[in-house]
């Protein structure tokens, strides 16, 4: 059975308006997908993680401690999904090795160690389970030529090469709570392991379904 790894930005799952319909629709989609795929989901920290990181930074906590706050929040967010989806793990794995060995139709986790975002956890897991696809489900429709949350004239890219992304964003991790489309350490793994990677809007479940089922979707294909 093919494995698919999906990295869900925390802001896709947890936003200011409580959207239970989204969770119901996501559960429905996952139930369909497990007939054909083994699914791994990594959940991000979103705005909640950034609030803790901001507070900790003002209190002069070191970067590692700030990352740890982020990791803890990603795991709380992951717990929403593990409770919702019966066919998933109960305990949140603390490493990709642990996740890889879980014998469930859907495996859900959050962050692992300081120094990267959950994108890197997704890429690492995708490499370990030889996933046929790695999907970055974020809060915009894909990769843009500039930040679409800041610039109205930002243009969505239908595809971009991994070399170009590395050229634009580098392969280093910056600081806790850094908000970029894909973090540098994740780019490095995608390149090394040649993982077919797609970036799309995680709120738009139809596009997620199409990307998984090899249909045309609205998003960005990363050329590897
Ligand atoms: P996220 O992966 O959620 O970061 O982790 P993000 O991409 O900025 O947020 P969303 O979810 O897409 O909106 C939040 C923070 O937790 C720490 C990092 O500081 C990260 O910025 N973190 C997370 C780690 O240090 N290690 C991990 O494995 C995961």
50 lines ligand 1 (CB under 6 A): no
Query: What is the distance in A from the centroid of ligand 1 to the CA of 138?
Result: 12
pLDDT at 53: 97
Domains of the chain: 2-223 (3.40.1160.10)
Distance CA 177, CA 70 (A): 7
pLDDT at 79: 98
Distance CA 129, CA 83 (A): 24
pLDDT at 11: 93
74 lines ligand 1 (CB under 6 A): yes
7 lines ligand 1 (CB under 6 A): no
What are the tens digits of pLDDT across the range 161-212? 999 999 999 999 988 888 778 999 999 999 999 999 999 999 999 999 999 9
How many beta carbons lie within 10 A of that of residue 224, not counting itself?
14
For 51-120, the DSSP string reads HHHHHHHHTT--HHHHHHHHHHHHHHHHHHHHHH-TTB-SSPPSSHHHHHT--SSEEEE---SSSS-HHH
Query: What is the distance in A from the centroid of ligand 1 to the CA of 73?
Result: 9
Q: Which of 44, 67, 51, 18 is nearest to 139 (CA)?
A: 44
Atom 12 of ligand 1, residue of closest alpha carbon = 9
Along the 224 residues of the chain, how does pLDDT read in single tens digits?
Answer: 999 999 999 999 998 888 999 999 999 999 999 999 999 999 999 999 999 999 999 999 999 999 999 999 999 999 999 999 999 999 999 999 999 999 999 999 999 999 999 999 999 999 999 999 999 999 999 999 988 988 999 999 999 999 999 999 999 998 888 877 899 999 999 999 999 999 999 999 999 999 999 999 999 999 99
Query: What is the distance in A from the centroid of ligand 1 to the CA of 72?
Result: 10
């Amino acid at each position: 059975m093919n494995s698919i790894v999906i990295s869900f930005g925390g802001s896709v799952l947890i936003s200011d308006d409580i959207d239970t319909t989204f969770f119901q629709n996501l559960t429905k989609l996952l139930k369909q997908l497990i007939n054909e795929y083994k699914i791994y989901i990594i959940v991000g920290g979103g705005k909640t993680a950034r609030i803790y990181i901001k507070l900790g930074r003002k209190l002069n906590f070191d970067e590692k401690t700030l990352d740890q706050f982020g990791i803890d929040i990603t795991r709380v967010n992951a717990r929403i999904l593990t409770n919702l989806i019966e066919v998933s793990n109960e305990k949140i794995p603390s490493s990709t090795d642990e996740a890889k060995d879980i014998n469930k139709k859907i495996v859900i986790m959050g962050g692992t160690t300081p120094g990267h975002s959950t994108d890197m956890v997704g890429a690492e897991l995708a490499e370990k389970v030889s996933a046929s696809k790695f999907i970055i489900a974020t809060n915009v429709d894909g990769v843009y030529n500039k930040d679409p949350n800041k610039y109205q004239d930002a243009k969505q890219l239908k595809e971009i090469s991994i070399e170009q992304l590395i050229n634009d964003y580098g392969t280093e991790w910056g600081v806790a709570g850094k908000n970029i489309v894909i973090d540098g350490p994740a780019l490095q793994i995608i390149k090394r392991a040649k993982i077919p990677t797609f970036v799309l809007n995680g709120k738009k479940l139809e596009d997620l379904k199409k990307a998984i089922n090899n249909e045309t979707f609205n998003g960005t294909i990363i050329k590897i």
